[in-house]
Amino acid sequence: MSVLDAFSLKGKKAFVTGGAKGIGRSAAIAFAEAGADVAIVDTDLDSAKDTVRELDRMSVRSLAVRADVTDPADVDRMMAEILGAFGTVDIAFNNAGICINEKAEEMSFKSWKKVIDVNLTGVFLTARAAGRVMIAKRSGSIINTASMSGHIVNVPQPQCAYNASKAGVIMLTKSLAVEWAPYGVRVNSISPGYIGTKMTLSATQWIPTWESLTPVKRMGLPEELVAALVYLAGSGAGFTTGSDIVIDGAFTCV
């Protein structure tokens, strides 16, 4: 297998949750550039359609799907819509996520549940939906967005629910990888550090601290994650499953 073949996604069918903006959008573009047809799944259908218009300039098929990843019935409908358009799913990037910064002692149950529902339950539901398709055909790659916050406790912002949810994603990834290995389904995760997306860039009061604590002294770019995602999605990662790739500017090293 050549290096180019290892990273080729030509003919593959993918979906990206949270694909309208930020990391998800960059991933969708990268998958399409590597040759995959891509479904953009998001609660913001208008922004998802904007991303689809960008993909339409490439020689791939794409569609926008509105879905609530916390709702099992809506995830099933999402999968049916994707299968109706593409016929199958080879790559699932379960990326949708939120963060609520509230002190633990003041955090409402509603806020806690919202973060866990989107970041952990949502990943389980979309991974399960993809897994059912992939198990039946005995092949596929599932990639989940975890976080360095699943490995360390961030400061100075309070975010216990986010940290717990991302630690859960890492262990969920490992559990699914072991369960589904006999079926040829690989399951991996990426753990980004501070990446310059709309969510993180809005926290202007914390950015100087984040950058000072990161050994490379800056935030990452969404585009700096996509090579790892294309690798995990492609045939070159055939022996890679149950792994969590930390991409954090060495933040978790110190």
Instruction: Report the catalytic residues.
Output: 147, 162, 166
Residue reference for tokens 């047809």: 37
Half-sphere exposure of 173 (CA within 13 A, CB side): 30
Phi (first) and psi of residue 14, to 5 degrees: -130, 155
Helices (H), the chain: 3-7, 22-33, 45-55, 72-86, 109-116, 122-137, 160-180, 198-201, 207-213, 226-233
Q: Do 143 and 96 contact (CB within 8 A), yes or no?
A: no
- Residues forming a β-bridge with 189: 144, 244
For 167, the token pair is 């630690």
